[in-house]
Amino acid sequence: MISTVVIPTYNRQEQLAAALDALAVQFEPDIPFAVVVVDDGSEPAISIVRQDYPYPVKLVRLPENRGRAAARNAGIAVVETPLTVFIDDDMRVEPGYIRAWQEYVDPHGKTVGLGHVVFHPDVQRDALTRYLETRGIAKLSDDEQIPYRYFLTYNSAVPTHLLREVGGFDERLRAWGGEDLELALRLQRAGGVFVRVPDAKALHAHCRDLLRVWDISMQFARDSMPILFEKHPELIRELHADVLGPLITEHSLRRVIIRALTRRPLPDWLCSAITRWPKAPWPMRAFDYVIASAWRRGLDEAAQRGR
């Protein structure tokens, strides 16, 4: 057995059951794998309803909700195979999923695999889903090198030895977002090479609305970015905080214009309009603007906290 799939979950029993069922349907006897489910303090506690999965399942319970970074670390701690695969509980894997990881990712090397994700057919298609499906590695051609910043754990595979070498996820990052990016930077520094694994396909069975995307993006900037910048100052420019943040020393015309354009209440109006007419042909830049405005708001609040 080469692979273990780690699935963190919190208060989503039905989603988890569907994810485990999808793994069971795609099970290939000649490529066995294990699954570790980490219950991140759910109330009531998560249970593994079925007992007849064709793969072994281990359930790890955390006594309180500690966030995705801590939950994944708890899963990594009990992995006994050379390759660790990460999916979220709202992912539904497609045929050949485990086989693809083992063909593309050397569990004894330093290759880090990024799978292919599109929304599940049951998710209503609109401008936001089109935007989200064109982010990250979807923006790159097949032969382009993948930057570390595109690493996302909701469908990925990393050699277990490499995860342990770099120390796993930073558990201080409890808000939405950032734990993937911070880990990816350390994986790259340790020699990790990021590759596309198109046959490791998963269907995302959940999509937040735009107002929720704005809210969690703001939380990311407010709660996670200060930790990221303290630990890795080079991320200030990588995440454009040099032009969005209020306390950065850059005083260029570009910064003045961008901070002026990302002021509220315009983002409220834009979010409301896109939410009201989700199937309108909104340009992708409209969503970039909404997220940039959320980041600006979060960075401003973080600066106020630090004063």
Answer whether the bond into residue 44 is a cis peptide, omega within 30°.
Answer: yes
> CA 76, CA 5: separation in Å to the nearest integer?
10
User: What does the block give as tokens for 286?
Assistant: 């409209």
Domain map (residue ranges) of the chain? 3-204, 210-306
Q: What is the pLDDT along the chain (307 residues), one digit of tens a residue?
A: 899 999 999 999 999 999 999 999 988 899 999 999 999 999 999 988 788 899 999 999 999 999 999 999 999 999 999 999 999 999 999 999 999 999 999 999 999 999 999 999 999 989 999 999 988 888 888 778 899 999 999 999 999 999 999 999 999 999 888 999 999 999 999 999 999 999 999 999 998 888 899 999 999 999 999 999 999 999 988 887 777 666 555 555 455 555 665 666 567 778 888 888 888 888 888 888 888 888 888 988 988 886 4
b (16+ CB within 10 A) / e for 2-26: bbbbbbbbbebbebbbbbbebbeeb
* Model confidence, pTM: 0.91
> CA 187, CA 210: separation in Å to the nearest integer?
31
Architecture per CATH, domain 3-204, reads as Alpha-Beta Complex (3.90)
